[in-house]
Each structure stands twice: as structure tokens, then as C-alpha cells.
Amino acid sequence: MSNPTAAILIIGNEILSGRTQDVNVNFLAKRLAARGIQLSEVRVVPDIAHRIINAVNELRASYDMLFTTGGIGPTHDDITSECVAEAFGVPWEPHAETFAIMEKAMPAGAFNSARQRMATMPRGAVPIPNKISVAPGFSIGNVHVMAGVPRIMQSMYDALEPSLPEGTPIAMRAVYGMGVMEGAIAAGLSAIQDKFADVDLGSYPFRRETSGGVAIVAKGTDMARLEQAIAEATALIASHGIDPVQGEPA
């Protein structure tokens, strides 16, 4: 697969403390897959400068692009922006256009020094607007810095997406075997995976209220190959005396 690759860096004490359930990874994972971008790593680090700087530098060097979420508000614990400037070795300075837009949008006196920090960016950054808040995220190089609040992050991603590189969309097909035990079909499944090296074949036990089974998921960029791999997995399930289910079972 020669699709572009991506990482997500979550700057989030609130995720590490368990106070907040992250939902940004799942949103971005789906949208990136649809655009043909391979999400290859996720990291969560605390709001500590050297941890953020090191993670930004490692991940932007390892993947074609990096998305960060969190830490771009006006409070003392919002340090992502200056950390990204330090990671890139560029000054962190007022972004004139953003400064003007934010000042204009607020009542006189409200654009205080805390809010001015949200108009301060690494030199060379390009703002990422959003429909919820006047304060933008920004892109610098291959790093895209977004809010942690999900609906603001989502709006920023909507604005950013058209500028991202495109790959072949990563499609998924699945077949479900109710009552199937993974251990019973593992050998057969492994043989199918060996035949379809270009398909990523996964096996996931699942449980519903009154039943359970295994989901066989084929992932890849060649839809015909996915269909063939799933046809073989379907036959494998059937060979164990079970009716395969093509859609997500209730």
C-alpha cells in the first residue's frame, strides 16, 4: 500500500486521568481511511512541554503527516502551540491576520492577553478555521494542530481536509459468524490471509446481548480482492455448519 501515512498526537491530561473518553481518534481514523490516508500510530502524552516537543518531532519525521488535538485554548495548561514552534525551531509570534480577526470579533477589552495567545503561532503557520469558535488551529509543515473539543476539532478537520494528500480509499468488508469460535477457524483464516497478501484480514470476537461470534474483516484498497477474500471467509464459516451473516448482526 503506497497510501500517505499519518499519526495522531493527543495532548491530553484529561485522557490520561480517565476524566474524558477520547472520541477524536475514532473520528479521524474513519475520515482518514475514507481519504486513503493510512493512520499508522496514535500517541497520548500529558501537557508537559518536553513530552509534546519530542513526540511532535518523532512523529512528524516518521509519517507523512501528523495531526495533534488538544492544548490550544487560552489557559495556562494550553501549551501545544508554543511547543510546536519549539519543535520546528521557529519563533512563536502573533499571527497578524488572526490577531485582527479575533480582536474584531470580540467586545472591546475582551481580547485579553490569554486570548491573544490563541492568535500566537509558530512563524510560517497557516490558520485552520472552524465554524464554532473564532480561534483557529494551524498547519505548519506536515503538522496540523487542532482543538481537543470534538466538535471544534471536527470542524477544523472539515476545513483542512481538501488540502490533505489523497490516497486510494481504504475500504472494509466484513462477514460475521454467529457462535463461531476464533480458535476453530484460525487455521483456515490464516490460509486465506496467505493467499491475499494485499488484503489485511482481521478476526475480532464480538458479543451481543444474547449471542456472540467472530467478525472477519478485510481491509484494503482493492475492492475486488476484498470481496474475494470475504467470499472465502464466508465459505470457511459455512464449512463449520454456520450461516454467515453479511451485515453487522444486531
The alpha-carbon radius of gyration of the chain (Å, integer) is: 22
Query: Do residues 181 and 214 lie in contact, with contact meaning Cβ atoms separated by under 8 Å?
Result: yes
CB-count exposure of residue 211 (10 Å: 0-12, 13-18, 19+): exposed
Q: How far apart are the first and last CA of the chain?
A: 33
CA distance 179 to 209: 13
CB-nearer residue toward its own copies: 126 or 219: 219
- Cell numbers 470476537 correspond to 205
Query: Do residues 222 and 198 lie in contact, with contact meaning Cβ atoms separated by under 8 Å?
Result: yes
Site string for its own copies, 133-172 (x = CB under 8 A): ----------------x-x------------------x-x
Q: Would you count residue 210 as binding its own copies (CB under 8 A)?
A: no
Residue 4 CB neighbour total at 10 angstroms: 18
CB-nearer residue toward its own copies: 140 or 226: 226
CA distance 10 to 192: 36
Q: For the CB of residue 160, give the shortest distance to its own copies in the complex, in Å.
A: 17
- Find the binder of its own copies among 98, 130, 193, 234 (CB under 8 A): 193
- Find the binder of its own copies among 61, 89, 96, 113 (CB under 8 A): 113
Residues 59-78 that bind its own copies (CB under 8 A): 73-78
Q: How many residues bind its own copies (CB under 8 A)?
A: 65
- Find the binder of its own copies among 203, 227, 231, 245 (CB under 8 A): 203
Cell numbers given for 56: 511532535
Q: Would you count residue 18 as binding its own copies (CB under 8 A)?
A: yes
What does the binding site for its own copies look like in residue numbers (CB under 8 A)? Answer: 10, 13-23, 25-33, 39-47, 51, 73-78, 110, 112-115, 118, 149, 151, 170, 172, 182-187, 189-190, 193, 200-205, 207, 217, 219
